[in-house]
Amino acid sequence: MKAGIENIPNNQPGTLISADQITVKKGKKTLLESVSLSVGPNEIVTLIGPNGAGKTTLLRTFLGVVIPTGGTIHRRADLRIGYVPQRIHVEPVLPLSADRFIRLDWRGAKEKYEEIISLTGVGPLRERMLYEISGGELQRVTLARALMREPNLLLLDEPVQGVDRPGQLEIYELISQLRMKQGMGVLLVSHDLHLVMSQSTRVICLEQHICCSGHPESVLADPAYLRLFGPRVASHLAVYTHSHSNTSP
């Protein structure tokens, strides 16, 4: 199959972006092999898998940064992507405030800016230098910048890396609120299975290829998942997911 990117009509409401048999190779090394998945509006799709499984490569392929060697990416014609990387490194010599970072290359209405600032809770950080704020605060600022594009798809690469536990919960709850409030699709890479399992619409277990996928509780019982993460972890997560789902609205 010839590799490439194709647009799909806006009148297909069930899909924002999809991968059809995507393969990515770097020299003789295969980073992704025959991966097919889709993300639709109002979905949180979580990618899990060991280090080196190809999760970040898949996100970068959806962004168009990595060109697949095989397969096709289908994108809705009106797709707007907001991207939050694993981390950004800010040099102390860079005199950039959170406010200026969020507004970079943005020409929208002030009302929209204020709405996003309120939604992400970064108002108190506006005048502070990026290098001065904590990891959790920086992730919120980066998320606010991603939202300035008014995306209908968010790509989040381990958005809570380096964030303390209370901050992780706040960020995941914010992502869930964004999905419900704005109906956007979310493709999320995470190692923190305790927090994302119960928030996800679908979980995809990746190890260069898709090992298993489905509703979180079905993935927990899948032999491929147990092979990658072990029955002890799976058992603990199953208890957590069940308990959390009983207290959810």
| pLDDT tens profile 212-229 | 888 877 887 788 878 877
Write the pLDDT tens digit of every residue in 179-224. 888 889 999 998 766 667 667 889 999 999 999 888 877 887 788 8
Sequence ranges of the domains in the chain: 39-68+76-80+152-249, 91-150
Both tokens assigned to 179:
């999905």
Q: How confident is the prediction along the chain (249 residues), in pLDDT tens digits per residue? A: 445 677 766 555 689 999 999 999 999 999 999 999 999 999 999 998 888 899 999 999 999 999 999 999 999 988 999 999 887 777 777 788 999 999 887 877 788 889 889 888 889 999 999 988 888 788 889 999 999 888 999 999 988 776 777 777 788 888 888 888 888 999 999 876 666 766 788 999 999 999 988 887 788 778 887 887 766 555 544 434 444 443 333
**What is the identity of the amino acid at 127?**
E
pLDDT computed for residue 12 by the predictor: 59
Phi, psi of 131 (to 5 degrees): -70, -10
For the structural domain made of 39-68+76-80+152-249, what CATH number should be given?
3.40.50.300
Q: Is 204 exposed, middle or buried (0-12, 13-18, 19+ CB in 10 A)?
A: buried
Partners of 73 in the β-ladder: 5, 19
pTM for the whole thing?
Answer: 0.83
Kindly report each contact of residues 173-176 with a partner whose C-beta sits within 8 Å and lies 24 or more positions away, as own/partner: 174/119, 174/120, 174/121, 174/140, 174/143, 175/44, 175/199, 176/44
- Residue 151: φ, ψ to 5°: -75, 155
